[in-house]
Amino acid sequence: MTSTGEIRFSHASADPTRGSDDEMPGSDREMPSSSDELRISETFVSRQGEGKLTGVESYFVRTSGCNLRCWFCDTPYASWKPEGDRQSVASIVDQIRQSGVQHVVLTGGEPMLPSAIEAICRQLREAEIHITIETAGTIDRELPCDLMSISPKLSASTPAPADHPRWAQLHQQRRMPIGVMRRLIERADDFQVKFVIDSAAEYDECLSVIDELGVRPADVWIMPQGVTAEAMDAAALWLKPWSDERGFQYCDRMQIRWYGNRRGT
Ligand SMILES: C[S@@+](CC[C@H](N)C(=O)[O-])C[C@H]1O[C@@H](n2cnc3c(N)ncnc32)[C@H](O)[C@@H]1O
Ligand SMILES: Nc1nc2[nH]cc(C(=O)O)c2c(=O)[nH]1
Ligand code: SF4
Ligand SMILES: [Mg+2]
């Protein structure tokens, strides 16, 4: 942790923010990460459903484990109750290469947590495969990335303190390191910033984060919180006009429309 409270991992370091899935974040229940393997909850080929590459066939690699605990997380099997076995960097990259798919989406959980993500990105870059990283933007790593897709977590994402006292506190402390996000944006070849909005009460905070990040409206994507087409239809009525008025991109999460909220899609 730096003096500003930001987290920066050097190559092959262990992950001090790594928490377990229960109410004892930081416990040693999980093995420390290594630079040549990481825990994977699922891999699959699908179409990118969010942001500027929507529609592009992509090989998804979902790491397991997260340093945050959004109450609405749509992949609890990679955050609240992380599942999956450890796999080597070599086997993951081999499978991607054998698939012939030219775009990879590294997501999670939090894909910037395991140090092995750096080797994956270096090897994919060598193979000239396009890399998107879907991240909450709380962890600073230097790695090759074509599209850094940052989804900053607003305060309404915090889990209920009454139900999850330790995670509520940690989530609140970790969720918005603006300096880390700025550096990720500066280093990446391209970037987008995607906000999940659950209610109009989050508008002011969203606008002030955009201001602090210094990004243009064209780089901002507004996504409704929700995991069904019905929830997205209902949210679009109030959220899309607000987004359009400010010149933001509106992001209907298309995978939900195409496939429903199903794992592996
Ligand atoms: C599961 S997260 C994994 C990557 C990273 N941890 C993050 O949050 O950006 C993938 C994307 O799904 C979004 N997301 C998760 N749950 C959601 C929900 N209930 N409604 C809308 N978007 C959601 C996240 O904000 C992020 O953009
Ligand atoms: N099709 C599809 N597109 C996605 N874009 C970002 C995803 C994610 O979970 O990070 C995702 C996902 O899970 N599926
Ligand atoms: S940061 Fe991403 S993976 Fe972690 S809990 Fe929030 S939405 Fe889920
Ligand atoms: Mg998803």
For residue 4 the two structure tokens come to: 């500003």
CA distance 199 to 61: 30
Averaged pLDDT, 145-170:
98
Is there a binding annotation on residue 109? yes
CA of 82 to the centre of ligand 2 (A): 17
Quick check: 233 pLDDT over 60? yes
Q: Is residue 22 part of a domain?
A: no
Q: Is residue 10 part of a domain?
A: no
Quick check: 158 pLDDT over 60? yes
Q: How confident is the model at residue 228 (pLDDT cuts 50, 70, 90)?
A: very high
Give residue 34's pLDDT: 81
List, as one string, the DSSP characters of 43-68: EEEEE--SGGGTT-EEEEEEE---S-
Average pLDDT over the chain, rounded to an integer: 91
Is there a binding annotation on residue 100? no
Quick check: 183 pLDDT over 70? yes
List the domain range (segments joined by +) for residue 83.
37-259
Is there a binding annotation on residue 107? yes
Give residue 24's pLDDT: 44
DSSP letter for 101, please.
-
- Cβ of 50 below 6 Å from ligand 2: yes
Q: Is residue 195 part of a domain?
A: yes
Burial class (CB in 10 A: 0-12, 13-18, 19+), 203: middle
Quick check: 28 pLDDT over 50? no
Closest residue (by CA) to atom 10 of ligand 2? Answer: 107
Quick check: 22 pLDDT over 70? no
pTM for the whole structure: 0.93
Q: Is residue 86 part of a domain?
A: yes
Q: Is residue 243 part of a domain?
A: yes
- Cβ of 46 below 6 Å from ligand 2: yes
Phi and psi at residue 89, to the nearest 5° = -55, -45
Contact (CB, 8 A) for 204 and 210: no
- Cβ of 192 below 6 Å from ligand 2: no
Give residue 6's pLDDT: 53
Is there a binding annotation on residue 72? yes
56-59: long-range contacts, CB 8 A cutoff, minimum separation 24: 56/103, 57/101, 57/103, 58/101, 58/103, 58/104, 58/105, 58/132, 59/96, 59/99, 59/101, 59/103, 59/104, 59/105
Give residue 93's pLDDT: 98
Residue 206: give its domain's CATH number.
3.20.20.70
Quick check: 30 pLDDT over 60? no
CA distance 140 to 231: 33
Whole-complex ipTM: 0.99
Quick check: 70 pLDDT over 90? yes
Averaged pLDDT, 244-259:
96
Pocket test for ligand 1, best of 18, 74, 79, 153 (most atoms within 8 A of CB): 74
* Atom number in ligand 2 closest to CA 51: 5
Q: Is residue 7 part of a domain?
A: no
Q: How confident is the model at residue 160 (pLDDT cuts 50, 70, 90)?
A: very high
Closest residue (by CA) to atom 11 of ligand 1? Answer: 134
